Amino acid sequence: MLRVDDLHAGYGTAEVLTGVSLEVGAGAVVALIGANGAGKTTTMRAVSGLLKPRQGRVLLGGEPVEGLPASRIARLGLAHSPEGRKVFGPLSVEDNLLLGGYPGLPRFFGFKAKADAELARAYELFPRLKERRRQAAGTLSGGEQQMLAIARALMAKPKVVLLDEPSMGLAPVIVQEVFATIRRLKAEGITLLLVEQFAQSALDVADYAYVMERGRIVTAGTPAELRRDERVLAAYLG
Amino acid sequence: MTAADWKRFLLVRGAEIAGLALLAAVPLSVTNPFALGLLTLLAIYGILLVGLDVTVGYLGQVNLGQAAFLGIGAYAAGITVTSLGGGMPAALVIAAAVCFVLGGLLALPALRLEGPQFALATLSFGALTTTVLNEWESLTQGAQGLQVPRPPLLGVTIDAAAFYWLCLALLAMVWISMRNLLSSRWGRAFEALRDSPIATDAMGVSAYGHKVIAFAIGSSLGGLAGGLYAFNFQYLQPQSFTYELMVILLLGVVLGGRKSLWGAFLGSALIVLLPNLLSNRLLFQLFSGIGLAVAAFAAVQGLRKKTAQPFQALAPVAAMGLLLVGSLVVTNTEDWRKAIFALMLFSVVVGLPEGVMGFAAGWLSRLFRVSPPALPAPAPLDAVLPARATDGSPLLELHSLERHFGGVTAVDGVTLTVRAGQVHGLIGPNGSGKSTVVNVISGLYAPGGGEIRLHGKPLPRGSLYRVAGAGIARTFQNLQLFGELSALDNVMVALKGVFHTPLPLVLLGFARLEERRAQAAALALLELVGLAQQARTRAKDLTYGAQRFLEIARALARQPELLILDEPAAGLSHPDVVALTGIIRRVHERGVTMVLIEHHMDVVSELCDVVTVLDGGRIIAEGDPETVKRDPRVVEAYLGASPEAAHEAAAAGG
């Protein structure tokens, strides 16, 4: 569903990604793990078009999308839930969701009916958000904001969802809830690329994982294979 | 001095001395009064723009009031000579002093504002100034203008050449004192508060106070330039100091390059040459042609090396092309001057956002590779972070602390005691009030009720700066580093007990010794967190983990009684979490009391002596980590099933 080939990207003169290749099959959950500064977030930004790749290919459902503006890639079916959640703070929960659904909603006729259907689907997955749908997103707790960010990414029925650090700064009980949500999404057949510091938990939900170091993929394998790898075990799974 | 030191000295100071000598030698061979007049103006506008650069470049605020200060300085000097019978030195001192005071008075309210509002405040000040100069006829003679004689200096009549030398000497003095100021803790503070005013305050450096002083200094340079302006033209009119001049001054600073003395000087050359350029059609066509060629060359280079976006590369070419076409078609360029300024400003803002000097600096540094001065050896840690007694006596006491946001009660009667030498954990679900508690303690928010005591004495309320002064330092959950400053400078901004030189002596260059001591002290702290090798790296270029560690080193520079760490492990990968634990342990060994907010329970269990658990703004449990972890209320509200259990359940299910 998503294929990345020899991706190079960076900021200014600094080259951060030096040839990243990975693949996410339809309906699979793939984890990307590695130390801080390895380039995980940069990979996500280069894939979703927030950062222009300097070289390499990004294929979404077989179509090349590299170099397209982020808004266009989103319309083609790639949703990015960024690190630090980045919900629209002053807007209501419902407006946040509608903005996420915008790429998939009709412009004029039938907007209301379609939007309500999409909202109902989101609220079914995240009942907590329904309780808070009139509240400004900025006043939600960290865990609720994370749920909102994921729900917003799902609104447009994307082909692939990129989830960057969904557990960052969350209480342990909420982290467990986030992973339970990811498991639910997986059961629904949603294709996910996941960046996570809690490498153990990420491997628990993933079908396949890539390990990044200094801007490139150094190892890849199924969670079971990586857990047998002495080096990965020592460096990331401690 | 080493060879590298000599090379740097010769290149940097050599260029300045050669430039000054060249300018000073001109009147010996050139007697053309017109050329001499231009050079005099170059020196005067140089002083004016150096002053403007303090606010525009270093504070990053759009200041539209500098033309008004030029006018006020000019009239102050003129009136001193005509009405008070003062000499030139007295007139210049009064001009600078009046503008220092007025600048400070304007800054007091205006710098409470940010961005566009600040720009509007200075714009209205400019409008007000021209009106007052126009209408206060008894003092300024209004629209009819003020004649200003040029009094003799020490009994010597000042001819054009002597006056030029006077202006040049003052420019050199301003140049040297500003360089001294900007390379001292003052300059660092100016840059720091532009990146993060909150962190500047939290490091015990008053952001507001420094902004006001910076603005006053910039304005007083405007006043000094105004005084020289008065004696140069010997005739003053209020219309000379309107906002059209202000636009040209801004163009000068932006084109020359912000945050650079040479940039201000280049900008001043542009301002001086511009009117002459516009009055000569051939010269203007030539200038536009060169401008187009430079823009086209830069565009091709930028696109070929992929350092510039197509818009950034091509827009200046289009603007310069328009200018060239205009120069061939239009006969009276004077009438079109505003459009011409607009096109030039547009090209510069898009194509050369760092100005000519910003561009040239990168190029020159590749041409002459000059290593930065060697850093001193790190100071002994005992001197920088003296070990403290850890007797377990109450250090920080909160009593019935409350804080409300609108109708929401974020902190609902929290009472707790942090004992000297302990690491006190603060945990709880998201939204339970942990961050609000530390934000109230550290002065970011004022408490809604209750008491906070440090060593039994009430702590200042609602002021980061004053709480920092009382001995509490903190880090921030969402990093608040001074991104443009090096790691070393980040720590040096916060250093306590090193800087004693008063401002006038700093201007004279007496801060160098303490600067060296400060570097040694800051290096010792960087070494403590393992960043000594990256001392010269810009904070925003450090990896995420290193940025977290740098925040701790910076907070330690305050020699705090109490250090508050707000989620230091958030977003850190496993190896960095291990490094962080080591750092906190080393800091703990030096007897620094800490409050630690953290979600990584393994970090909390390993480091904390006591843990307080908050939920819904109230304390639900307190005790040693193992007891707290087994408390059923804590498990339900915060921990959920144990991580091991969750992991096993997942393994069984998946």
A139 touches B: beta carbon within 8 Å: yes
Helix H or strand E segment including A28: none
B543 touches A: beta carbon within 8 Å: yes
CA separation for the pair B28, B621 (Å, rounded): 84
Distances in whole angstroms, Cα of residue B125 to Cα of each of B62, B118, B251, B256: 13, 11, 20, 25
Written as six digits, the tokens of B178 are 């500003």
Asked if the interface predicted TM-score (ipTM) of this complex is over 0.85, the answer is no
A chain contacts of residue B640, beta-carbon cutoff 8 Å: 172-173, 176-177
B365 touches A: beta carbon within 8 Å: no
Residue B363 Cα to chain centre, angstroms: 24
Q: Chain B 156-215, CB below 8 Å of chain A: which residues?
A: none
Position B22, amino acid: L
Written as six digits, the tokens of B323 are 């200018």
CA separation for the pair B533, B556 (Å, rounded): 18
DSSP state of B425: E
Residue of A197, A205, A222 to mutate, interface with B, max B Cβ within 10 Å? A197
CA separation for the pair B271, B412 (Å, rounded): 61
Asked if B477's CB is within 8 angstroms of A171's CB, the reply is no
Closest residue to B650, CB basis, from A139, A165, A204? A204
B427 touches A: beta carbon within 8 Å: yes
Predicted confidence (pLDDT) at residue B382 exceeds the cutoff of 60: yes
Closest residue to B431, CB basis, from A36, A142, A238? A142
Predicted confidence (pLDDT) at residue B654 exceeds the cutoff of 50: no
Q: With contact defined as beta carbons under 8 Å apart, do B111 and B54 qualify?
A: no
Q: What pLDDT is attached to residue B176?
A: 94
B598 touches A: beta carbon within 8 Å: no
The answer for B640, left when phi > 0, alpha when psi is -120 to 50, beta otherwise, is left
B652 touches A: beta carbon within 8 Å: no
Residue B152: pLDDT band with limits 50, 70, 90: confident
CA separation for the pair A87, B415 (Å, rounded): 33
CA separation for the pair B234, B150 (Å, rounded): 7
DSSP state of B639: I
Predicted confidence (pLDDT) per residue in A172-202, tens digit? 888 888 999 999 999 989 999 999 988 889 9
Q: How far is B59 from chain A (nearest CA, A)?
A: 24
Q: What pLDDT is attached to residue A28?
A: 94
Predicted confidence (pLDDT) per residue in B160-219, tens digit? 889 999 999 999 999 999 999 999 999 999 999 989 999 999 999 999 999 999 999 999
CA separation for the pair B445, B457 (Å, rounded): 19
Q: With contact defined as beta carbons under 8 Å apart, do B556 and B474 qualify?
A: no
CA separation for the pair B218, B49 (Å, rounded): 9
Asked if A204's CB is within 8 angstroms of B541's CB, the reply is no
DSSP string of A216-238, one letter each residue: EEEEEE-HHHHHH-HHHIIIII-
Please name which of B424, B451, B426 lies closest in space to residue B617, comparing C-alpha atoms. Answer: B426
Distances in whole angstroms, Cα of residue B644 to Cα of each of A196, B602, B636: 18, 12, 16
Predicted confidence (pLDDT) per residue in B254-265, tens digit? 888 888 899 999
Helix H or strand E segment including B622: strand B618-623
Q: How far is A143 from chain B (nearest CA, A)?
A: 7
Q: What share of chain B is helix, strand, coil (3-state, %, to 5)?
A: 65, 10, 25
B601 touches A: beta carbon within 8 Å: yes
Q: Which residues contact B382 (CB under 8 A, 6 or more apart)?
A: none
B319 touches A: beta carbon within 8 Å: no
Query: In B144-280, which ranges are continuous DSSP H helix?
Result: 160-182, 185-195, 197-202, 207-233, 243-256, 261-279
Q: Considering chain A, what percentage of its residues have pLDDT values greater than 70? A: 100
Asked if A238's CB is within 8 angstroms of B545's CB, the reply is no
Q: What pLDDT is attached to residue B279?
A: 77
The residue in chain A having the minimum alpha-carbon distance to the alpha carbon of residue B477 is A169
CA separation for the pair B17, B23 (Å, rounded): 10
Longest dimension (CA), chain B: 99
CA separation for the pair B591, B588 (Å, rounded): 5
Q: How far is B17 from chain A (nearest CA, A)?
A: 34
Q: What pLDDT is attached to residue B1?
A: 64
Asked if A201's CB is within 8 angstroms of B429's CB, the reply is no
Asked if A175's CB is within 8 angstroms of B599's CB, the reply is yes
List the Cα angle B384/B390/B392 in 5-degree steps: 145
B chain contacts of residue A174, beta-carbon cutoff 8 Å: 429-430
Residue with the larger pLDDT of the pair A29 and A116: A29
Mean pLDDT of B388-417: 89
List the Cα angle A226/A230/A236 in 5-degree steps: 65
B chain contacts of residue A143, beta-carbon cutoff 8 Å: 429-431
Residue B642: pLDDT band with limits 50, 70, 90: low
Q: With contact defined as beta carbons under 8 Å apart, do B358 and B260 qualify?
A: yes
Mean pLDDT of B484-505: 92
| A194 beta partners | A31, A163
Mean pLDDT of A27-46: 91
Tell whether the torsion through CA atoms of B492, B496, B502 and B505 is positive or negative.
negative
B651 touches A: beta carbon within 8 Å: yes
Distances in whole angstroms, Cα of residue B328 to Cα of each of B271, B280, B323: 23, 12, 9
SS3 letters across A175-221:
HHHHHHHHHHHHHCCCEEEEECCCHHHHHHHCCEEEEEECCEEEEEE
DSSP string of B112-175, one letter each residue: TS-HHHHHHHHHHHHHHHHHHHHH-HHHH-GGG-EE-----BTTB---HHHHHHHHHHHHHHHH
Distances in whole angstroms, Cα of residue A68 to Cα of each of A55, B243, B508: 13, 43, 55
The dihedral over CA atoms of B452, B455, B461, B463, expressed in degrees to the nearest 10, equals -140
| N-terminal to C-terminal alpha carbon distance within chain A | 32
CA separation for the pair B535, B530 (Å, rounded): 10
Residue with the larger pLDDT of the pair B511 and B552: B552
Helix B281-304 to helix B310-329 angle (10° resolution) is 160
The dihedral over CA atoms of B10, B11, B17, B22, expressed in degrees to the nearest 10, equals 130
B641 touches A: beta carbon within 8 Å: yes
Q: What pLDDT is attached to residue B485?
A: 93
A233 touches B: beta carbon within 8 Å: no
CA separation for the pair B261, B358 (Å, rounded): 11
The residue in chain A having the minimum alpha-carbon distance to the alpha carbon of residue B408 is A139
CA atoms within 13 A on the CB side of B631: 20
A209 touches B: beta carbon within 8 Å: no
Predicted confidence (pLDDT) per residue in A77-113, tens digit? 999 998 888 899 899 999 999 998 887 777 777 778 8
Highest mean pLDDT among B53-62, B171-180, B329-338: B171-180
Mean pLDDT of B526-547: 92
Distances in whole angstroms, Cα of residue B276 to Cα of each of A16, B150, B281, B346, B512: 49, 25, 10, 21, 43
The residue in chain A having the minimum alpha-carbon distance to the alpha carbon of residue B602 is A172
Q: How far is B649 from chain A (nearest CA, A)?
A: 10
Q: What pLDDT is attached to residue B647?
A: 53
The residue in chain A having the minimum alpha-carbon distance to the alpha carbon of residue B405 is A139
Q: With contact defined as beta carbons under 8 Å apart, do A53 and A65 qualify?
A: no
CA atoms within 13 A on the CB side of B112: 4
Predicted confidence (pLDDT) per residue in A52-83, tens digit? 999 999 999 999 999 899 999 998 999 999 88
Written as six digits, the tokens of B318 are 């289009």
Predicted confidence (pLDDT) per residue in B453-470, tens digit? 999 999 998 899 999 999
Q: What pLDDT is attached to residue B5?
A: 79
Q: Is A147 exposed, middle or buried (0-12, 13-18, 19+ CB in 10 A)?
A: buried
Q: What pLDDT is attached to residue B258?
A: 86
A chain contacts of residue B570, beta-carbon cutoff 8 Å: 168-169
* Least-confidence region, from B59-73, B100-114, B139-153, B200-214: B139-153
Average pLDDT, chain B: 88
* Least-confidence region, from B189-198, B614-623, B641-650: B641-650
Mean pLDDT of B271-299: 83
Q: What pLDDT is attached to residue B653?
A: 43
Q: How far is B584 from chain A (nearest CA, A)?
A: 19
Closest residue to B575, CB basis, from A35, A139, A201? A35
Predicted confidence (pLDDT) at residue B97 exceeds the cutoff of 80: yes
Q: How far is B537 from chain A (nearest CA, A)?
A: 13
Please name which of A226, A201, A224 lies closest in space to residue A212, comparing C-alpha atoms. Answer: A226
The residue in chain A having the minimum alpha-carbon distance to the alpha carbon of residue B569 is A169
Relative to beta strand A14-24, strand A2-11 is: antiparallel
DSSP, collapsed to helix, strand or coil, labels residue B203 as coil
Q: What pLDDT is attached to residue B643?
A: 52
Residue B646: pLDDT band with limits 50, 70, 90: low
A35 touches B: beta carbon within 8 Å: yes
Written as six digits, the tokens of B46 are 């140089």
Q: Chain B 469-498, CB below 8 Å of chain A: which residues?
A: 477-478
CA separation for the pair B175, B265 (Å, rounded): 10
The residue in chain A having the minimum alpha-carbon distance to the alpha carbon of residue B646 is A176
Asked if A54's CB is within 8 angstroms of B571's CB, the reply is no
